[in-house]
């Protein structure tokens, strides 16, 4: 195994739990020096306990420009002219709600965290990536290819990540800076519990009329989330895809990883919209058209 720092330095956002934590630990074990982005330093200390060395927590709020700039300054001081071998944009949230009644503040927060923030983080760290022709890995979602009801805002952010990754891949091709997108399927992380909590709060957030209209759909999606969580695969599968994107001589533009990712992508790619809608509605258990 390579000694820590032999592969260079990488920044990974959203490493407190789940995919981000698994990725940070995996990369550190593979010889990268990982700057693990966390909002609370105690989360970073827990990560350090899983690695003998090669991992440095950095406190960063990806929705705060000053916090991003401070983190970039800290990393720049540490790596100097060696630059960054990679940036992994992983942090994300889910704000489920029917589009008709979703509070606009929630919709904006969804896009801000999952789409706008990765742009801001990428802009801040690209000068360091240029120094050693590093790579960028964006963590999307199978929800960026196949939309579920009550997840419109989430899928909008992840469809946007698809476009962002395509744009960066083309724009940075001139300097041989590879950009990859990893689309996870169902992965065993805290996001399921957070999604259920958000769904349970919709009765209050949607108002009486909104909840009455969409309660059957919300119940169906809640059951789907519970079932999907039970079938979810380990975060390590996603971490391994990220690792391949950062280390392979021929990194892929897109990776499908985790439980059900390939099947869902095939469904999105091969069926026309009417057939696809019918298939999703049946799988989820949506109410029949009135």
For residue 32, which of 63, 59, 9 has the smallest C-alpha distance? 9
CA distance 230 to 103: 30
CA distance 182 to 90: 10
Give the ranges where 99-231 is alpha helix by DSSP (H): 104-111, 117-131, 152-172, 191-200, 202-205, 207-231
CA distance 256 to 265: 8
Query: Is residue 214 annotated as part of the catalytic site, yes or no?
Result: no
C-alpha 126: how far from chain center: 19
Q: By CB neighbour count within 10 A (0-12 exposed, 13-18 middle, 19+ buried), where does 186 fall?
A: buried
Q: Catalytic residue numbers?
A: 154
């Amino acid at each position: 195994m390579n000694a820590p720092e032999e592969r260079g330095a990488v920044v990974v956002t959203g490493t407190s739990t789940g995919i981000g934590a698994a990725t940070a630990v995996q990369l550190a074990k593979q010889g990268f020096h990982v700057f693990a982005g966390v909002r609370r330093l105690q989360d970073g200390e827990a990560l350090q306990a899983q690695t003998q060395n090669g991992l440095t927590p950095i406190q960063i709020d990806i929705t705060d420009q000053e916090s991003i700039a401070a983190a970039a300054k800290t990393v720049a001081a540490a790596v100097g002219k060696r630059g960054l071998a990679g940036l992994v944009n992983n942090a994300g949230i889910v704000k489920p709600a029917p589009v008709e009644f979703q509070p606009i503040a929630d919709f904006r927060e969804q896009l801000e965290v999952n789409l706008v923030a990765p742009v801001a983080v990428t802009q801040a760290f690209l000068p360091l990536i240029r120094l050693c022709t590093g790579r960028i890995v964006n963590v999307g979602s199978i929800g960026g290819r196949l939309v579920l009801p009550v997840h419109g805002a989430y899928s909008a952010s992840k469809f946007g990540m698809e476009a962002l990754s395509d744009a960066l891949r083309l724009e940075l091709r001139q300097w041989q800076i590879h950009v990859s997108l990893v689309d996870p399927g169902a992965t065993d992380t805290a996001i399921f519990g957070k999604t259920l909590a958000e769904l349970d709060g919709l009765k209050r957030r949607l108002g009486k009329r909104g909840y009455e209209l969409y309660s059957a759909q919300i119940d169906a999606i809640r059951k789907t989330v519970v079932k999907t969580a039970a079938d979810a695969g380990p975060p390590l599968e996603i971490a391994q895809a990220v690792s391949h994107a950062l280390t392979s001589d021929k990194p892929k533009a897109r990776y499908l990883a985790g439980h059900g990712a390939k099947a869902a992508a095939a469904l999105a790619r091969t069926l026309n919209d009417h057939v696809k809608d019918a298939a999703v509605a049946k799988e989820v258990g949506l109410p029949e058209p009135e």
